[in-house]
Structure 1
């Protein structure tokens, strides 16, 4: 498991391209029959990816619970959300089988001990994208299908941000300690996300970009509103955004992204908006 330590506002202003990418960019998320894991000390969020092809894989395959978290098993004091962006999959958690099909989500409450992931068809393997945050209460685990998510249309083609926000792990859908998670899809011809930009000092966020053609790129903007920097991103990559940072992106093509938040609250609209003309 890769461990990242939090970077403050002042050091951020002087970081090179390589330093920014090393600290905030998450690549190689999906590896055949394996589980990747990046542990950030920013609100102690863990970003994981699993792509079981012709084998079942254990969620904690590359995690040492006692060494890494001081607990007996990974989710002893954590909750976890996942969205499957690949072929249909199956997750068995403490003996309970959950069918997690394409674009479905699964929430696992704190205290879930044994988690095994597999694909229904090895020729079209599941790709489980996951985030985990600390939790002090155990809420029931459940699948949230794509149909059960809240689908909120936003933006317009004229603004180059015609998109649908799909809210899965959200206060209107189910109870969690602090995790929120959803997926935003941009229509053809739309390339901007989260603009006008905002921050939320009470929550951090991880963006995972996918459905981006391999010959296209995305410019993810972050930093204080008057001290912005960018990271060039490719398909199936994620970026860690501190609470003091904006998080906005513009692609050379349309794309889809998964947003995941942890922090003091789960109020989706708790945002500090920044006028576009005030950005620097």
Structure 2
């Protein structure tokens, strides 16, 4: 079963007037993983698609998505699939077995995508201008960057999977950041990158734990309370950072004008309101 929701782009002036309900309706990703379903959110932020697939004993195939305007979803797109569940299989141009934490890149033209097994599959897709080889990147093959410190409660490891230092892609850049026990802050000091949107998915949270995700213009910040396996759409004009009630993992994904996410505009703590 396929379910597709469309989210239109929101400008910063409009977002300033949102209450909690409107903020969550436009930016919160709260229902991506349902047993036996493929659920997608087609966004008007760089035409990024964010979604989930949970086979739960029966194969699920993702092929035509009306919103893409092509016979099959990967005819003019690339895709990254992250397994956040048990062992699962993905069939496209080949058959791939994904353990928890592995990421699969599928290049443009890889064909319909079938999900099987015990996996819980997080789906990311963006338009592509060239065909790059499909590749399975296991979590122990990701490039690891250690950042932060225990003193500032942000000791973490950034795992770069779909990244120029690891493999080529058209515009998708995807990684996974794991916070150490006792650390709760991510991406602080904050920054913006107006050339790219970003999507966050928070995982490895206990049922009663929450992340307070901060977004908005630096002078007009807003927050949303996020539970396990929920996410956030972060528009290009917005900061994106957060703090949890315990340590957690988050998957970050970007699409847009380039793949060099180091060209950010840092926001000083004194600028935040």
Instruction: Give the aligned partner of residue 73 of structure 1.
Output: 72
Instruction: Give the aligned partner of residue 27 of structure 1.
Output: 30
1:15-65 Cα offsets, whole Å, 9 max, x none, are 1100000000011211112111001101110001111111111124xxx53
* 1:154 matches 2:157: no
Of 10, 16, 20, which residue of structure 2 is paired with 1:17?
20
Displacement of 1:146: 0.8
Mapping of residues 42-191 of structure 1, within 5 Å: 42-60=45-63, 64-65=64-65, 67-94=66-93, 96-119=94-117, 125-191=118-184
Q: Which runs of 4+ in 1 moved over 3 A?
A: none
1:115-150 Cα offsets, whole Å, 9 max, x none, are 11111xxxxx21111110010101110100111100
Task: Measure the CA separation in 1 of the matches of 2:73 and 2:89.
Answer: 19
1:216-263 Cα offsets, whole Å, 9 max, x none, are 111100011111001111110010001110000111111100000000
Q: Secondary structure at the match of 2:165?
A: coil
* 1:269 matches 2:266: no
Unaligned 5+ residue runs, structure 2? none
Task: Measure the CA separation in 1 of the matches of 2:202 and 2:48.
Answer: 17
Instruction: Give the aligned partner of residue 122 of structure 1.
Output: none
Task: Measure the CA separation in 1 of the matches of 2:185 and 2:213.
Answer: 10
Q: Secondary structure at the match of 1:212?
A: coil
Q: Secondary structure at the match of 1:10?
A: helix
Unaligned 5+ residue runs, structure 1? 120-124
TM-score (norm 2): 0.97
Displacement of 1:268: 2.4
Instruction: Give the aligned partner of residue 40 of structure 1.
Output: 43
TM-score (norm 1): 0.94
The answer to whether the 8 A contact 2:73-2:112 is kept is no
Displacement of 1:277: 2.0
Q: Secondary structure at the match of 2:22?
A: helix
* 1:201 matches 2:194: yes
Instruction: Give the aligned partner of residue 209 of structure 2.
Output: 216
